Structure formats: C-alpha cells, structure tokens
Amino acid sequence: MAATLKLEIVTPTATVFSDDVEMVTLTGIDGEMGIYPQHMPLMTQLAAGEIIAKKGSENIYLAVGEGFVQITGQAVSVLTDMAIKADDIDEVKADEARQKAEQRLSEKLSEEETATVQASLLHATSQLKLKQRTRR
Amino acid sequence: MASTRDIRRRIKSVKNTAQITKAMQMVAAAKMRKAQQAALVGRPYAKLLNVMMAEAATGTVGFDHPLMQSRPVGKRAVVVVGSDRGLCGGLNGNLFREVTKLDKNITVFVTAGKKASLFIARTKRTLAAEFSYKDTPEFAEARAISKFVQQLFLKGEVDAVDILYPRFINTLTQQPSLVPFLPIGKLSAVTAGLNAPKDELSNHDTAEIFEFEPDEETVLGQLLPHSLNFQMHQILLETKASEQSARMVAMKNATDNAKQIIKDLTLEYNKLRQANITKELLEITTAQMAIS
C-alpha cells in the first residue's frame, strides 16, 4: 500500500475529518498546494476555500474557513473556524447566509462585527463554490 | 404562640419559594448540560492548537514576538471572569476572595460579567474595562476581551496579564484559578487554562524544524493572537459551565431546605390544631357539666 498522510481537520466545535489519505490539496495563503506523504515540515495559513482529500479512487471534498495548517511528513493538521463536507452542505441555507452577510456588510458596523460578518460571508461563499464545483 | 392561621400562611409562602427554586434548578440543569457540552467540544481544537504552538516555537530559533516579551512586572492586569447573575452559591464569593488577595495598587482589573464589575467598583479597585458575555459565549465576545488586554500589554501599560475564573472541575466543584495569559512566556503555559494533558505535548516529536510560508513572522503573528482569543473563549465557556453547575447545586439545596421547613411547619401546625380541638372539647364538656 502506498504511503499515507493522516489528515486531521479540527474546528472549535468538532473534529470534522480524521483519516489516512494519499494526497491533500488545500488553499494556502500563497495559493493552492498539493501535499503528498514525505512533504517537508511546513506551517502556513489556510485561506477560505476547499480541501480535497484523495483516498483510494475517491475524492473527498470539504469547504473550509480560514485557519492554520501544519504539515509534517506523515500528517496534515488543519485548524479552522469552519469545515463541512460537500455532501453536508445545505445550499439554500448557505445562500441565505451569504445574502444576509452581504446585507449586513453594507450597514454600518463596528470593527468586531465586521470581522464576524466577513468570516460568515467567507464560509458561505466557499460552501457555495464547492457545491457548484462538485455538481459538475 | 403563633396561631394556626399564621403557620398556614408561612407554609404557603415557603411552598412558593420552593416552587421557584425548583424551577430555577431545572432551568440551570438544562443549561448546565449545554454549557458543559460546549466547554468539552472545544478540547480537541485546543489540544491541536497547543501542539502547533509548541512545535512552532521549538521550530523557530531566536524568534521574538512582541506578545512573548517578558518584562519585569511593575503593573499587571487581571481579567476577572464572573457571572452575570447571582443565586449561584459561593461561586462569585470564592472568586472575589481571590481578588482581595491581589495587591490593589499595582493591579488593574478587566471584568467580564456583571457581578465581577460590581464587586470591583464597590471595593474601589481600578477598573480598566468591563465586558459582557451571553449565555452561550460567542467567539467575538472573547475576541473583544482578548484584544483589549493584548493592546494594554503591547502599549506597555501593563507588564503581565492573568485571568481569574472559576475553573470547572465537575458539577460539584469549581475552583477559582489564576492563570497567566500574557506574556506568552513558555508556550507550555498556554495549556494551563485548558487542562490539556501536557504529556501529549512532550510525546510529540518536536525535533522537526518547520518551514513557514510566507514567513514565520506572518504565521506566528496570526497564530499567537488567535490562540489567545481561543483560550479566552474557552475560559468563558468554562465559566458558564461552572456558573450553571453552581446554580443548580445551590438551588437544589434551597429546594431541599424549603421542603424540610414545610415538613417541620406542617408538624407544628397539626399539633396546634389538635391542641385547639382538645381545648374546645374541654370547654364544651365543662360548660355542659356546669349547666346540669
């Protein structure tokens, strides 16, 4: 069997994903990167977007928010404020959340509120993008 | 001696009290389960965050972040996390006893929760800011507090920040504990507030040197404040769990006491009632004997 990576995706509310996979594709702060086993140790920031985990012939898609990634030769640990599997995404809800967030952003907000709203907007858009992509 | 009517009145009032405390106990019990759950689900995240911090710190040599700077402590800030409402037994009282042990002159206080603010104001201590948080503490609320104390620290107004909060041990026990928050001296100190097992950190292979992308300053510059914010959030969650547990226990005691009082009063009432009946009977018979 080919070498594997242990991918762990943890959010403040749950451990969303924890399994051995063969390859991980994620969006770092400097762009997309693919990680194979024996990758050099690396730490970087995660941009909101998607994570694709390849396990056997199957591709697992997840939408994630911003966070941090730590990569060692054997494991990839992802800390993020939101992570959801493609199958679990509720498109209608995400769209609603996006509209609500956009509307809120046009109002006058304090710095704290803006940060929160922007985060939820990022969450919603990354969910929607992933949903559209996986459908094709 | 009290008349039967007085006793009846008292029984009624105690019964009302018991009903209220019973209701509060039920509400607290339900909220407690939710709060405890919320405090527990954050643990894996906290653990991973700590592992990352520890490894990042060992992987970087000679890196110094302003938040890690330790200075001789002249003035320090203490964040007191209390509850918003009372009726939760000795929870706040125990916390404030710890507050009185701190030196008034070199400590400024930042409070979360109404009871804490009131206490600091009442005892004429220096209150730098007060924050509030909801029944289910949100990350944004924690971030506000955490940001504020980080600012204090970075501006050099204080040289150390500690947090005083009722640590949740189990439903019956909550321990007021003072944990260091800033500077992030030894990174292991970060685990203190989250009671994450330290062994797991040391088991981890920390020999690896990490690359950083784009560079360590940017990544750590984001990671450190984030981890502080998260730690603060976790502390708020734990405080809520402690508060609800303490309230449930206090209300259960109150209900039990009220029931005991009702029992005693009922006994007294019945005794008095019987004595009255006997007295009346005696009066009737003596009256009859006098007539005949």
pTM: 0.80
- Cβ of B45 and A11 within 8 Å? yes
- When mean pLDDT is compared over B152-156, B167-171, B268-272, the highest value belongs to B268-272
Residue A15's pLDDT is 85
- The token duo for A124 is 């919603």
Residue B203's pLDDT is 42
- Cβ of B210 and A30 within 8 Å? no
pLDDT for residue B11 is more than 50: yes
Q: A73 with A14, same domain?
A: yes
Mean pLDDT of chain B: 84
Counting the structural domains of chain A, the total is 2
Residue B275's pLDDT is 94
Residue B58's pLDDT is 65
Cβ atoms of B128 and B108 closer than 8 Å:
yes
State the nearest Cα–Cα gap between A126 and chain B, in angstroms: 21
Cβ atoms of B127 and B117 closer than 8 Å:
yes
In this prediction, residues B174-200 reach a mean pLDDT of 61
Chain A hits for B45, CB-CB cut-off 8 Å, are: 10-12, 79
| ipTM here | 0.76
Strands A67-71 and A83-85: unpaired
- Which one is predicted more confidently, B21 or B103? B21
Residue B217's pLDDT is 78
pLDDT category, B195, cuts 50, 70, 90? very low
Cα–Cα distance, A131 to A133 (Å, whole number)? 5
In this prediction, residues B76-84 reach a mean pLDDT of 90
pLDDT tens sequence across B205-248: 445 677 787 777 788 888 888 888 888 988 999 899 999 999 99
Q: A48 with A105, same domain?
A: no
Residue B201's pLDDT is 43
Q: A60 with A121, same domain?
A: no
- Burial, B267: exposed, middle or buried (Cβ in 10 Å; 0-12, 13-18, 19+)? exposed
Residue B59's pLDDT is 60
Residue B60's pLDDT is 61
Active site residue B88: yes
Strands A5-11 and A23-28: unpaired
Beta strands per DSSP E along A1-136: 5-11, 14-21, 23-28, 31-35, 42-55, 58-64, 67-71, 75-80, 83-85
Q: A114 with A56, same domain?
A: no
Question: Which of B45, B139, B218 is the best residue to mutate to test the A interface, defined by the most A CB atoms within 10 Å of its own CB?
Answer: B45
- Cβ of A68 and B222 within 8 Å? yes
Residue B197's pLDDT is 42
pLDDT for residue B33 is more than 60: yes
Of B10-19, B154-163, B166-175, B177-186, the one with minimum mean pLDDT is B177-186
- Cβ of A10 and B56 within 8 Å? no
Cβ atoms of A43 and B219 closer than 8 Å:
yes
- Strands, sheet with B160-168, edge to edge from the N-terminal-most edge strand: B126-131, B107-112, B76-81, B160-168, B174-182
Helix (H) / strand (E) element for A99: namely: helix A91-106
State the nearest Cα–Cα gap between B245 and chain A, in angstroms: 21
Residue A116's pLDDT is 77
Q: A12 with A72, same domain?
A: yes
**Can you give the residue range of the structural domain that contains A70?**
5-86
Q: A63 with A101, same domain?
A: no
pLDDT for residue B252 is more than 90: yes
User: From the list B48, B139, B230, which residue is nearest A77 (CB)?
Assistant: B48
In this prediction, residues B176-192 reach a mean pLDDT of 67
Q: A64 with A117, same domain?
A: no
Cα–Cα distance, B179 to B195 (Å, whole number)? 11
- Which one is predicted more confidently, B240 or B199? B240
- Cβ of A79 and B48 within 8 Å? yes
3-state SS assignment for residue A16: strand
Q: A32 with A94, same domain?
A: no
Q: Does B49 touch chain A (CB under 8 A)?
A: yes
pLDDT tens sequence across B85-132: 888 888 999 999 999 988 888 899 999 999 999 999 899 888 888 898
Q: A26 with A60, same domain?
A: yes
Q: Which of B257, B226, B93 is nearest to B150 (CA)?
A: B226
Mean pLDDT of chain A: 84
In this prediction, residues A64-75 reach a mean pLDDT of 87
Handedness of CA B244, A80, A127, A123 (dihedral sign): positive
Residue B16's pLDDT is 96
Q: A113 with A81, same domain?
A: no
Size of interface A-B (CB pairs under 8 A): 75
Q: Does B115 touch chain A (CB under 8 A)?
A: no
Which residues of chain A have a Cβ shorter than 8 Å from any chain B Cβ? 8, 10-15, 28-30, 40-45, 68, 70, 72, 77, 79, 81, 112-113, 115-116
Q: A80 with A116, same domain?
A: no
Chain B hits for A44, CB-CB cut-off 8 Å, are: 212-214, 219
In this prediction, residues B16-35 reach a mean pLDDT of 93
Q: Does B223 touch chain A (CB under 8 A)?
A: yes
Residue A57's pLDDT is 84
- Domain CATH for A55: 2.60.15.10
State the nearest Cα–Cα gap between B71 and chain A, in angstroms: 29
In this prediction, residues B30-58 reach a mean pLDDT of 82
Residue B247's pLDDT is 93
Q: A20 with A77, same domain?
A: yes
- Cβ of B219 and A45 within 8 Å? yes
State the nearest Cα–Cα gap between B100 and chain A, in angstroms: 33
Chain A hits for B59, CB-CB cut-off 8 Å, are: 41, 43
From the list B28, B35, B88, B110, the catalytic residue is: B88
State the nearest Cα–Cα gap between A20 and chain B, in angstroms: 17
